[in-house]
Structure 1
Amino acid sequence: MDLHQLRHFVALAEHANFTRAAEASCITQSAFSRSIQTLEQDLGCRLVERSKRGISLTTQGLALQARARKLLAGASSLRAEISALEMTARPALRFGAGPLPAARLVPDAVADFLDRHGDTRIELRVEMPDVLKQFLNTGEIEFMVADLRHIEASKGYVTRPLRTRRFQLFCRQQHPLLSGGTPAFRALANYPLACTTLPTELRILLGERAGRRTLPVSMECRDTDILLRIVARSNTIGIVTEDVVAHTLAQGGFQTLQFTDTPQALLDGGTCFGISYCADRQLSSAAQRLLESICLFDELSQPYRAAPLGDYCLAV
């Protein structure tokens, strides 16, 4: 008697039909019938009564059904416990990333890290920066990579600035804006806009230049892949960081937008990426190695403007 036979018997008891039980067990009916017959032989008794109306469980079959369910549930629980022990034995690295760095920088760095440290278990949370800061305070994550301009600066955090990334506008290659020469910036008012996370000050400045009190963003989405799909299938204008645009253009189907009167705010504005962790907590060796990968890929990216190097403590 083995667990496979018990699973087949429980399936037969549930479906009361050899054909349906075999289908549910994903084996042929002949193999299923042999499994039940072997189980009956091993136990030395009949478990089911066969008739024209179907099958019914014998007294021994009813008793086995109750015990078999408990045995299968116990086996499943045991398997889960053993797997959990194996996962617990592996070092766990928990950190968070904002939607913007999670689009390109963090995946590239994590991929490089796992190639060299595949025995490390990583738990990544992608949330808005203020939510990540709460996780940081409670110790649920070791560090965060985010646009730090979106959170209130306070004492007790060590912050490592990363390169600034400029925001760029892009559209699908067949977009109407590309058919009549270089457009004026006010032409944006005629089309829906979609972005990931846009600084408030940049949103207002761009809106004023487009002839609106505020930038008419039709959709904000943390998932860059969803945003790209929407831009590819509509006349929506996308606004993302330049490293995401560069990767997108390489895949084809999109084009960056140039204007006759590009606002200086768009040329000067950008992200304020940084790595932040609590000053009174020691980073694990795995976290330190991942930070090295993040900084490496940050340096390899095409920067718009380099941020000052080195760590510093926010003392505001």
Structure 2
Amino acid sequence: MDITRLRHIVAVSDTLSFSRAAEQQNITQPALSRSIAAFEARHGLRLFDRSRGGVTLTPSGSFVVEQARAMIRASDEFSRNVKLYTEGAAGRVAFGLGPLLGSLLLPDLARRLLAHGPELEIITAVKSPDQLLADLFDNKLEMIIGNVWQVSEVHGVALEEIGSLDLVHVVRRDHPLTQLEKVTPEALAAYPVARPVRLTGDQTDAGTFVCDNFHVLREMVEATDCSWITTPSFVHAELASGSLQMIDVEGFSNLKSGICVITLAGRTRSPVSRMVSDLVRMAMDDLGAEETASLDRTGT
């Protein structure tokens, strides 16, 4: 169905004047008359009666105009939705994050996403890297926001680096290691370690605590002798209050974790996913500024 022709019909119905309708539609009156005549000829209906008193709508015309208005509204809504989708402001996006990035980014990222596109359907998954990759290859996720080192050797994916996070060793207040100006790896190994994932060969005489919930890790490190590698952004309040303290470990200065967007190689991305990448990049920039301020406040 020609939506433009339906607009011509509705314009004549609204104005009851072919000349005013033609002006409204930005076409000549003969062109408007031909457009409506073509519709009438195709469907065997007469839409308007013309007399010296003006233009009147026929019963057939009333029926057609009612249907035309509904189709025009649907067409306008379709065009609007496609435009929003193209701009990344509508549609569905499913993406995953690891536990740390989920805790750091997701609350602020959700706020940014909903502010940008209230009509978005946002589906997120916070899982381990292996689980996220399985979901990506099963097409349950369109993208993952994760650490470069966790996926750098995975085949069949494309990486887009979007930033990095500083990493520091932290321990509880009054931990024996805080008395050392420089902590050797041997001194560090004398105490248990907290990690979000189990590493190959991850066995120490002092013990290891593995938990993928960073909030639990943070509370546990505050209450035990465990050391923990984390980002200052996640523990900025604890560093400011002194309940956690950074330690300087030999060979581990200026640690950084590269953050990237992971997608299936060769797969065309939706506009929404590209918008998510842009917002994550903005959130990463804000985190970087917070980390710098946090490190400055602690004198590191």
Q: Tell me whether the two structures share a fold, i.e. TM-score over 0.5.
A: yes
Partner of 2:171: 171
The 3 A distance-change label for structure 1 pair 197 and 163 is farther
Deviation string 1:75-106 (CA, Å, 9 cap, x unpaired) is xxxxxxxxxxxxxxx94321111233223134
Match of 2:224 among 224, 227, 234: 234
Greater share of residues in strand: 2
In the TM superposition, residue 113 of structure 1 has moved relative to its aligned partner by 1.9
Q: 1:294 aligns with which of 277, 280, 294?
A: 280
Helix, strand or coil: the match of 1:191?
coil
For residues 14-163 of structure 1, what are the structure 2 equivalents within 5 Å? 91-151=91-151, 153=153, 156-163=156-163
Please list the CA deviations of residues 122-162 of structure 1 after superposition, one character each: whole Å capped at 9, or x if unmatched: 22112222321221111100100111322363554331113
Q: Is the 8 A contact 1:100 1:146 kept in 2?
A: no
**2:183 alignment partner in structure 1:** 184
Q: Distance in 2 between matches of 1:149 and 1:242?
A: 19
SS at match of 1:146: strand
Q: Structure 1's 176 and 145: CA in aligned 2 closer, same or farther, altered over 3 A? A: same
C-alpha distance 285-217 of structure 1, shift in aligned 2 (>3 A): farther
Distance of 1:123 and 1:298 partners within structure 2: 20
Larger radius of gyration: 2
Q: Which residue of 2 aligns with 1:50?
A: none
Corresponding residue number in structure 2 for 1:267: 253
1: CA distance, partners of 2:100 / 2:113 = 20
Identical-pair percentage: 21
Paired with 2:168 and 2:92, the residues of 1 have a C-alpha distance of 36
Instruction: Look up the match of 2:193.
Output: 193
**Match for residue 244 of structure 2?**
254
The structural deviation recorded for 1:197 is 4.2
TM-score (norm 2): 0.57
Residues 253 and 288 from structure 1, CA distance in 2 versus in 1: closer, same or farther, beyond 3 angstroms? same
CA distance in 1, matches of 2:146, 2:180: 37
The counterpart of 2:263, out of the listed 277, 289, 297, is: 277
Q: Deviations over 1:234-292 (max 9, x none)?
A: 2222221343243542465222123xxx322x125432321011244333333222211
CA-CA distance at 1:226 after TM superposition: 0.3
1:227, distance to aligned residue in structure 2 (A) = 0.4
1:222 maps to 2:187: no
- What one-letter code is carried by the residue in structure 2 that aligns with 1:298? M
Shift of 1:116: 3.0
Instruction: Label 1:283 to 1:230 Cα distance change in 2 as closer, same or farther (>3 A).
Output: same
One-letter identity of the residue aligned with 1:285: P
Specify every segment of 5 or more residues in structure 1 that has no aligned partner in the other structure, as ranges: 1-89, 205-212, 305-316
Determine the structure 2 residue equivalent to 1:77: none
SS state at 2:283 partner: helix
Q: Output the CA distance in 2 between the equivalents of 1:115 and 1:249.
A: 31
Aligned length: 201
List structure 1 runs of 4+ shifted beyond 4 angstroms.
197-200, 213-217
Report the alpha carbon displacement of residue 225 of structure 1 after superposing the two structures with TM: 0.4
Q: For the Cα contact (< 8 Å) 1:91–1:119, is it kept in 2? A: yes
Unaligned runs of 5+ in 2: 1-89, 292-300
